[in-house]
Structure 1
Amino acid sequence: MSLSLNADIEAFHQATMLLTAFATAVDAGDCDSLERMFAPDAVFDLPSLEAPKGRQVLRGRDEILARWRGERPFASRHIIGNVTVRLKNSDHMEVRSAGFGMRGPEDGGSPFLIVVADYKDDLERYGPGWRFRSRIVNSVFTWSAEKK
């Protein structure tokens, strides 16, 4: 459902800003910013890095944030692109994107995990901005090496 060209452009801009802010906050370990990006009852469904072909479904903001709290013995970088937006109404949009993520040693050096993924997001308007109602991540390619 397209509401208008201006609404579509604004939705694309807002979605891209949220996805970029999410990637930046994850890489920085900024849980305060991440907290504002999720609805209280949001769902985050992602591949389990511990169980091949397994899924990890996190329910609720607290469970989602627990994934990023605590010690991070690695550096990470996430890059998001190929964003498409379907504005369902003035308060809800569906967003699809692709992402590239890497983890490596904090002091630089070669990455030990590389993931290319597809994202399916449902966003809701919240005050002046948008936040995640649900986020589904599907790995397309994964490469890992033993940490050194």
Structure 2
Amino acid sequence: MAPGPIVLILGSGPRIGAAVASRFHKLGYQVALVSRPGSDGNGPTRTPEGYLKIGADLADAEAYAGIYSSVQEALGGVPSVVVFNAASLTPAAEPGNMFSVPLDGFQRDFDVSVKGAFVAAREAYRLWSSESEANGGGAKRQFIMTGNKLARPRG
């Protein structure tokens, strides 16, 4: 039996990312997870569920080509579904004053949440376009953004 389709989850935390991974796994997908902690630093690893686990800084636009390449090498194909669930939120230095967010933190948040989504979608489109040309159309592809928000710190 051929391996199932692939889902790539960019930003795989313990809540939304874990739930999305479990759901796609139950639907027969091979699952690739990407998060900051990711793997042990020596390349992709496997979770107890058998998911591919990749560590990457999703604020780094240069990281995305390597992520897709790792998925192709380890799982034998291009993801048919990409879920962008990454988020970054720098707290304001003065609670309640959004203009007190340090600029370096604001830039990192933008690099993850906006630029990261753009680069992830662009790379998926590039791969899907190449694959479609090679096999006369290819399967349907989906890029999903969760609009993830980080949990507000309790205090």
**Which TM-score tier does this pair reach, normalised by the shorter chain?**
under 0.3
- Higher Cα radius of gyration: 2
More strand per residue: 1
Q: TM-score, normalised by structure 2?
A: 0.26
More helix per residue: 2
